[in-house]
């Protein structure tokens, strides 16, 4: 083969690879855009007149806007047809504000009706925070839970801006006003101020665990260095009550309600009025065939996490 022909073939191959990469980048961008603007909308399911257990699923990264869930919990708490709550948790955590609001709503529900939590792969950080008001927590031996702690990430872009010749001048009313701005240099005083915020949020988290799990504060603090525990470890530490799956949690709730093994409806607290476009089997299969298994869940979780402002309570992947 002549040198010219070989060069031409190599150039064609390089062009084909570049085209494939560009196509993949376009697909990734479109998927992110559609997921970002095409979120499904959950609505409060009509509360059936028959006595039943409400089932609430907390899945994926927890955002700070949880008003639909808290509204549904408030209505279910007041409904005479809802006798208890089955809370299905599979989440690494998320926004501190969202976790706190869910915690408070579930705590109010648990004051008048029984609540049981069943954890899947994860029930960590803010997801553990919202679980502690329940009267009973069930997890799998391999569940990652705990991770009691708060993180506030504050990038400092000022050195990078200086290297490219950009000088950002902040005119502030006080020395701390620009310390959350990533284009401003983080001063020692600013770091101390932000650490104080994290410490106070952490103290609130600890207080929730102490109250919900009936564990002495000094023991909770000894466990709360941010680490996760397996379900088996968490059981021995008193962070959960029982090893098992959702059937185990349902059985506990039936016994608590004194309904035995009789047929008793378990109905979703929220009904989905609009599905994600990618939840339809062929479209999900197409996306995951290109980008790999679990792509849509990973992408949505990243988008939710990137939309959170301020401190988060999350088990970082």
Active site residues: 125, 177
Neighbours of 99 (CB within 10 A): 29
Structure tokens of 71?
């509204």
Report how far residue 84's alpha carbon sits from residue 107's, in angstroms, rounded to the nearest whole number.
Answer: 13
DSSP string, 70-102: HHHHHHHHH-TTEEEEEEEEEE-EEEHHHHHHH
User: Which residues have a Cβ under 8 Å from the Cβ of 259 and sit 6 or more positions away?
Assistant: none
Query: Phi/psi of residue 95, each to 5°?
Result: -65, 140
Query: Phi/psi of residue 42, each to 5°?
Result: -95, 140
**Nearest to residue 193, comparing CAs of 182, 203, 178, 205?**
178
**Nearest to residue 290, comparing CAs of 25, 40, 13?**
25
Report how far residue 4's alpha carbon sits from residue 10's, in angstroms, rounded to the nearest whole number.
Answer: 10
């Amino acid at each position: 083969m002549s040198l010219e022909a070989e060069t031409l073939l190599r150039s064609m191959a390089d062009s084909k690879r570049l085209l494939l990469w560009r196509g993949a980048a376009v697909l990734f961008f479109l998927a992110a855009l559609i997921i970002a603007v095409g979120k499904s909308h959950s609505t409060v399911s009509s509360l059936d007149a028959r006595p039943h257990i409400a089932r609430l699923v907390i899945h994926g990264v927890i955002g700070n806007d949880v008003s639909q869930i808290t509204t549904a919990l408030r209505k279910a708490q007041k409904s005479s047809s809802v006798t208890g709550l089955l809370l299905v948790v599979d989440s690494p955590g998320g926004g501190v504000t969202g976790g706190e609001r869910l915690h408070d709503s579930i705590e109010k529900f648990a004051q008048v009706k029984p609540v049981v939590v069943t954890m899947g792969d994860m029930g960590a950080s803010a997801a553990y925070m919202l679980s502690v008001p329940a009267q009973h927590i069930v997890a799998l031996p391999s569940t990652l839970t705990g991770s009691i702690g708060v993180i506030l990430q504050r990038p400092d872009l000022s050195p990078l801006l200086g290297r490219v010749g950009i000088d950002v001048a902040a005119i502030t009313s006080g020395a701390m006003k620009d310390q959350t701005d990533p284009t401003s240099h983080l001063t020692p005083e600013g770091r101390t101020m932000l650490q104080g915020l994290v410490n106070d949020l952490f103290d609130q988290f600890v207080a929730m665990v102490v109250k919900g799990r009936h564990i002495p504060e000094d023991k909770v603090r000894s466990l709360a260095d941010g680490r996760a525990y397996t379900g088996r470890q968490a059981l021995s530490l008193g962070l959960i009550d029982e090893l098992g799956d959702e059937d185990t949690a349902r059985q506990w709730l039936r016994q608590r309600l004194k309904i035995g093994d009789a047929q008793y409806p378990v109905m979703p607290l929220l009904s989905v009025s609009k599905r994600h476009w990618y939840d339809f089997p062929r479209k999900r299969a197409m996306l995951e065939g290109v980008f790999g298994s679990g792509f849509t869940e990973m992408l949505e979780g990243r988008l939710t996490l990137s939309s959170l402002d301020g401190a988060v309570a999350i088990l970082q992947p």
